[in-house]
Structure 1
Amino acid sequence: MLRAEARAMERVLAGIPALPWLCIGAEGADCPYSEAGRGLYLRRGGGGFEGALRCGLPWPLASETFGAVLLQHVLDDSLGDTAAVLDECMRILAPGGVLWLAALNPWSSYRTRWWRAGLSAHGPGYWQTALARAGFAADAVSLQWLGPRWHPEDAEAGVGAADRLRAAIALTVSKRVHAAIPPAALRKLRLRTGLGSARTHAGALRQGPGPKP
């Protein structure tokens, strides 16, 4: 499962060749390969996050800096900070940046391998709602099923009906940018100003000259 997810993460990173990225991985997962010095890798640990830095929430990272944030089973641990983590992802992502989220699939028969391990699994609808509450566009979420259906060596990916029994789901969504409201055209402002001046001048002519001393 982790190998299939690593390949999926590499495809995401290939689409952002210039910007830095943040990956928060599961226990036993390896950092996806990328250009040295461009990525930041963290894990859950000590009630917070540790790795390249040790911190809690909110993350000590600049806003709108990262081209991609990769969450590999970070929210399967039932710590109850899903909303806070997704809010931070929205904050640090640059406009047009990509959030990739991998989570356990509750419908997979592979769940017997992590049953009673203190992990939780939710369907795609749960994650789409959580992403929408964090400010991501729910209608722009793409969904993929990853990993084995039952045997570990069957670690592929897909979007077909049979793939819905794979061990994990991966949701990908971009941070949309709202277009700014353009200012009013200066030509209209000039016309209004000119019209007002003409009316003032016409009024002065109707009043005639003032009393002479």
Structure 2
Amino acid sequence: MRQPEQSGPGWFAGPAAEALLAAETRAMERVLVGVPALPWLWVGGDGAEYPGSESRRGVHLARTRRGFGGDLHCVLPWPLVSETFGAVLLQHAFDGREDTGALLGECMRILAPGGVLWLAGLNPWSPYRARWWRAGLSAHGPGYWQSALARAGFPAGAVSLQWLGPRWRLDDDGAGIGAADRLRAGIALTVSKRVHAGIPPDPVRRLRLQTGLGSARTHAGALRQGPGPKP
């Protein structure tokens, strides 16, 4: 029986993960280009490296056994202000862990309206799974993540999907959305936090219209009645 190349979540620090992480880094950098003014948050699993952006607006959190380390040492809920971040990048932040709903809920809370969530995970349908099988990691298909995002409040119909990394060769760090790309090692989902429009003042306008109509009817009735019986 084939043994895993490296056990535990530390698999991402090994050579088999290099091409996948390189493709993910380029994808994250493209996301950050779209949020030039707001701060952003990166959350990664063991061995993942946050994007080498020159911006100092990034907050970096690494998963630990007891919570999160990096720029902050904390647990959920995060000590971060609501609706502040332009992007949240989750790079294998769930692999081998069961706090999907709580973590996505925090992402929804801290994202500014129109902010972008980018989520990367392993592709369970890729031949590359033989390289991380029995390494203490977990993988889910796009349908699982789309349902999880919808439960957290993200718009289910606005999720874009991309496949990243190698199909089998260690030096293949490509990406794409075609049929052949569905065999790549990783998947990445991107979704924006929906902007809720204000409630239009329709009820007020309707009430004013009804009031005016009622007054007009009363006035018309008074005119029909005339000045009263002649003497």
- When normalised by structure 1's length, the TM-score is 0.88
In the TM superposition, residue 113 of structure 1 has moved relative to its aligned partner by 1.2
Equivalent in 80, 91, 108 of residue 90 of structure 1 = 108
Structure 1 equivalent of residue 17 of structure 2: none
1:12-46 alpha-carbon deviations (Å, 9 max, x no partner) = 00001000000011222222132432000110013
Please report the RMSD computed on the Cα atoms of aligned residues, expressed in angstroms. 2.5
Structure 2 equivalent of residue 211 of structure 1: none
User: Residues 94 and 153 (structure 1 numbering): CA distance in 2 closer, same or farther, change over 3 Å?
Assistant: same
1:70 aligns with 2:89: yes
Q: Mean alpha-carbon deviation: is it higher for 93-102 or for 45-54?
A: 45-54
1:49 aligns with 2:63: no
d(CA) in 2 for partners of 1:136, 1:186: 31
User: Residues 12 and 187 (structure 1 numbering): CA distance in 2 closer, same or farther, change over 3 Å?
Assistant: closer
Whether contact under 8 Å (2:90, 2:118) holds in the other structure is yes
User: Residues 141 and 188 (structure 1 numbering): CA distance in 2 closer, same or farther, change over 3 Å?
Assistant: closer
d(CA) in 2 for partners of 1:112, 1:192: 70
Structure 2: 5+ residue stretches without partners: 1-19
In the TM superposition, residue 190 of structure 1 has moved relative to its aligned partner by 5.6
Whether contact under 8 Å (2:45, 2:94) holds in the other structure is no
Equivalent in 171, 181, 186 of residue 153 of structure 1 = 171
Structure 2 equivalent of residue 125 of structure 1: 143
d(CA) in 2 for partners of 1:190, 1:86: 44
Structure 2 equivalent of residue 108 of structure 1: 126
One-letter amino acid matched to 2:143:
G
Pairs aligned (count): 208
Structure 1: 5+ residue stretches without partners: 209-213
In the TM superposition, residue 149 of structure 1 has moved relative to its aligned partner by 0.5
One-letter amino acid matched to 1:118:
G
User: Residues 187 and 138 (structure 1 numbering): CA distance in 2 closer, same or farther, change over 3 Å?
Assistant: closer
Structure 1 equivalent of residue 30 of structure 2: 11
User: Residues 74 and 184 (structure 1 numbering): CA distance in 2 closer, same or farther, change over 3 Å?
Assistant: same
1:163 aligns with 2:181: yes
d(CA) in 2 for partners of 1:43, 1:184: 48
- When normalised by structure 2's length, the TM-score is 0.81
One-letter amino acid matched to 1:94:
A
1:125-167 alpha-carbon deviations (Å, 9 max, x no partner) = 0000000101111110000000000111011101111111100
